[in-house]
Amino acid sequence: MDRVKVNGKFFKKQIDREAIKKEIKRLAAEIDRDMAGSNPLVICVMTGAMFFAADLLREVSTECEITSVRLKSYEGTGSTGHVSIGGMLKRSEIEGRNLLIVEDIVDTGLSLSSFVSELEESAPASIRIAALLSKPDARKYRVKTDYLAFEIPNLFVVGYGLDYDGYGRGLKEIYILDDNQL
Ligand code: 5GP
């Protein structure tokens, strides 16, 4: 499907399955190269990163512990400017650990920069970030993505875990808002 309707809006295909698979293999190899033997604690940012994390972490060979948090800053197709963290980890779970955050998309950077500051309070040994998508033109807060699959234009996307008000996450590929809504 090259064009889909999600929750009343039209989206067109931007990134297909094969490209996603290829990038995930590349990122997994880089993570193994950098993190092998460091007993990483992987923090999957729900709900958007669920499919990306599931596919990525099955390609990673490094033994790692996997957990999740919920970050929410978006409503509809825009950022609310405020981040809420659900299910934050305890200091004892973070202190001295090599963390790998797995996130769906870095947009303004607000969510990840807030989350990284919060984690830093608990003195981890290191923090790395793996992100599926980045919109560099939307950035307002500094975020260092160590492992990034794709840069995209500053337009709203759905699919492969990303939603439009809860819908569209199950799409196998990544779709971008169609400027033609007819
Ligand atoms: P930031 O805090 O970097 O502005 O935004 C990060 C969060 O906003 C992402 O984790 C994601 O939940 C949501 N987000 C940002 N851009 C998009 C987008 O284009 N599509 C969807 N579905 N969510 C987005």
Compute the distance from residue 37 Cα to the ligand 1 centre, in Å: 32
> Which of 9, 107, 178 for mutating ligand 1's site (highest number of atoms within 8 Å of CB)?
107
pLDDT at 179 over 90: no
| Residue range 80-91, pLDDT digits in tens | 778 999 999 999
Residues labelled catalytic: 107
What are φ and ψ of residue 76, in 5° steps?
A: 65, -125
Summarize the confidence of residues 93-103 as an average pLDDT.
Answer: 98
Q: Is ligand 1 within 6 A of the CB of residue 109?
A: yes
Residue 141 CA: which ligand 1 atom is closest?
Answer: 3
- Whether this prediction's pTM lies above 0.85 is answered by yes
User: What separation in angstroms does the CA of 8 have from each of 28, 115, 118, 167, 169?
Assistant: 36, 32, 36, 10, 15
Position 76 confidence tier, pLDDT thresholds 50, 70, 90: confident
Averaged pLDDT score across all residues of the chain: 95
The pLDDT tens digits of the residues spanning 24-44 come to 999 999 999 999 999 999 999
Q: What is the pLDDT of residue 182?
A: 81
